[in-house]
Chain A
Amino acid sequence: MTDNISSKIKNISTLEYKEKDFEYWGPSPDEARKIMVNKSHGLLDKRHTLKDAVAKFIKDGINIGIGGFVNTRIPVAIIHEIIRHGAKNLTLSFQSNSICPELLAGAMILDPDRVSIKRVELAWWGYEIIGIAPMVRYLTTNGIIEMDDYTNYGMSARFKAAAMGIPFIPVRDHGGSDMELINRGKMIECPFSGKNVYLLPACHPDVGIVHTSASDMYGNARIFGAHCTCPEIAMAATYTIMTTEKVIPTENIRSYPNLTEIPYPAVDTVTEVPFGATPGASYGNYWFDMEHLKMFRGLCEDFRKTGNKEGLKKYYDEYIFSCQTFDETLEKIGYKALKNLKDMDGGQPIILT
């Protein structure tokens, strides 16, 4: 980065940060391409249990790309299984999320030999109306995890670049903010207009985790409501674990192929998990569970303020470790609560035929 093409952000910022040489935090574009080329591209029945899917693809040291957006269509069932399975030294990549990274962070607080986060490339980590995310505050203010900040578009565009098979993408944001200094993007002079433009490196997670509205057994998936960045994450990742509200017949997919947002070669495993995003929301299925999010957030905040892990430990024992599958977690949440969340969605229209 030379002075004549960087913006003048250093004139207004007193920020202190470590200069870092560029490195990929997951597979490089060439590595990601190679893995994709070497996979079977046939229409294979990809239905697996989540336990098998996670055991096969989740390994120590990988970059996990988390789908959804804040409390919408977040892959909570997959996160539970990852916590049961254990994974250390993780890199997390997402735009905005709430309980998914908080659950992983809480698991790390309880037992760093089971789950640990090394670094996070993100735009936002919190609960919106419910409050700040206590675990990210704890981990960052104690210098325990490394952060790499982008905007929501920045992270989305990085997944999109990866999904497009290009190594970087020019964007019209980050420049002139401190993100220009601290993240792994770079200001260059556009070779055509001669004007400054900010470039972001493609982000290929090793494993993308997404929850969709419907999918056939091959992984052709529909998404209703906001797509968030789920298609891009699934197509950027070298392997994608997908949960879906409902597995639908392939003939439905072929009747309305325009409705497919994620094509089957992008998906490695499909598991039907109704309510798989709860306590997040799934458009057309259920609204977000504010009481549950508040309850879990409260336990995290108790830990952050007092150092007492007891409440957290009980939560993980109750909802994750004592359950073999997410169905068992849902049984504990209970029919009445789930029925209420379904009613709160108000029957937003989705197409399964």
Chain B
Amino acid sequence: MSEYTPFEMIAYTGSRVLEDEKIVFVGTGLPIIAAMHAQLTHAPNLYMIYEAGSMAPILEMGMPLSVGDTRAARKACYLKGLCAVFEITQRGYADYAFIGGAQVDMYGNICSTIEGHNYDKPNIRFPGSGGAGAMAANCEKTIAIMALEKRRFVKQLDFVTSIGFGDGSSDYRDKAGVMGSGPYRVITNQALFGFDQETRRMKLLEVKPGRTPKDIQDLVDFELIIPPDVKEMAEPTDEDLRLLRDVIDAEGYFLKRVIKK
């Protein structure tokens, strides 16, 4: 087994979560890489939506560097604009939202707008919702990628940008007027999380080999549901790493990023 990086583990795990014959509405970076890997392995009939307006492209010019990249429109089946792809998402064509964010809470709500409590003068301003808020509302299931850190897995968000299960009440999403069923998976390099059906709280599903559920709980500021049957995360094989490094992100735009401390 070769050494792999945290980003490679996230991309590989993201790929594992995606099923064949589905449509995934991708965000920039690791979600695109994960979906490309899935297409090349277990899900050849998985297709992507890019929010600038492209559905089911063939990415033969290489990995798009952003969701607005003109390469994401290459040989698409359907190529319109933002209205079209978000409207078919409301209609139910998009199975997965694949997004990132700055903070997540126990009910899978995600912040990507500000840090700080004052909307009119925040401590930090992030780019904003972009497509994420609409994807989390209306794709059927939401998959999120986060770095596993206490300051990101928080008790309370500074700003709810992308709706999860809200306050955890069973009718929160219905009252919010959104269509999708909500949070499905949260992917980190050390653990894979799902959500408990009864309480809608985040639940530990898998841990990286060598880690314990307690190691993971120590990196999360809220109480996780830890079932007795937590599994080990599968690790990428040499062939998976070859696909990620030499075929999908050969220039290393996302997988070779240096992590800022």
Contacts and interface: CB of A to CB of B under 8 A. Distances in A.
Interface of A: 7-9, 11-18, 69-72, 95-96, 122-126, 128-129, 132-133, 136-137, 140-143, 146-147, 149-154, 156-157, 160, 171-180, 182, 187, 195-198, 225-232, 281-283, 287-288, 290, 345-346, 348
Nearest to B180: A172
Interface-centre pick from B84, B105, B133 (highest chain A CB count, 10 A): B133
Contacts of B118: 16-17
Nearest to B166: A176
26 contacts: A7-B175, A8-B167, A12-B167, A14-B158, A15-B159, A72-B52, A96-B130, A96-B131, A123-B128, A136-B127, A137-B125, A140-B121, A142-B121, A149-B113, A152-B51, A154-B133, A173-B163, A175-B163, A176-B172, A176-B176, A177-B163, A178-B161, A196-B174, A231-B81, A348-B70, A348-B74
A109 B87 CA distance: 38
B83 A153 contact: yes
Contacts of B38: none
B181 interface: no
A179 B133 contact: yes
B177 A196 contact: yes
B130 A151 contact: yes
B241 interface: no
A158 B125 CA distance: 23
Q: Is the interface of B mostly helix, strand, loop or mixed?
A: loop
Nearest to B107: A12
B138 A8 contact: no
B157 interface: yes
Given A96-B68, A176-B176, 9 more contacts: A12-B160, A96-B127, A124-B129, A126-B126, A132-B127, A151-B132, A153-B87, A177-B162, A226-B72
B36 interface: no
Give the interface size class of chain B: 35 or more
Interface string B23-38: 0000011000000000
Contacts of B86: 152-153, 156-157, 173
Contacts of A11: 166-167
B84 to A, nearest CB: 8
A125 B128 contact: yes
Contacts of A174: 133, 137
B69 A156 contact: no
A71 to B, nearest CB: 6
A129 B66 contact: yes
B134 interface: yes
Contact of A12 (B28, B90, B124, B166): B166
B73 interface: yes
Contacts of B126: 126, 132
A230 B68 CA distance: 14
Contacts of B51: 69, 152
Interface string B207-247: 00000000000000000000000000000000000000000
A157 to B, nearest CB: 7
Interface string B50-65: 1111100000010001
The 5 closest A-B pairs by CB, nearest first: A176-B176, A227-B81, A126-B127, A226-B52, A153-B86
B175 A196 contact: yes
A235 B44 CA distance: 39
Contacts of B46: none
Nearest to B89: A153
B256 to A, nearest CB: 12
Nearest to B253: A129
Nearest to A282: B70
A17 B119 CA distance: 5
Contact of A136 (B125, B130, B178): B125
Nearest to A155: B82
Nearest to A133: B127
Contacts of B174: 195-196
B80 A146 contact: no
B6 interface: no
A95 B82 CA distance: 9
B104 to A, nearest CB: 13
Contacts of B127: 96, 124-126, 132-133, 136
A88 B121 CA distance: 22
Contact of B133 (A69, A96, A151, A348): A151
B146 interface: no
A228 B119 contact: no
Interface centre among B61, B83, B107 (most CB of A within 10 A): B83
B179 interface: yes
Interface in B174-205: 174-179
B231 to A, nearest CB: 30
Nearest to A124: B130
B121 A72 contact: no
B173 interface: yes
A283 B130 CA distance: 21
A173 B65 contact: no
A207 to B, nearest CB: 20
Contact of B53 (A12, A17, A137, A226): A226
B142 interface: no
Contacts of A71: 66, 68-69
B22 interface: no
B123 interface: yes
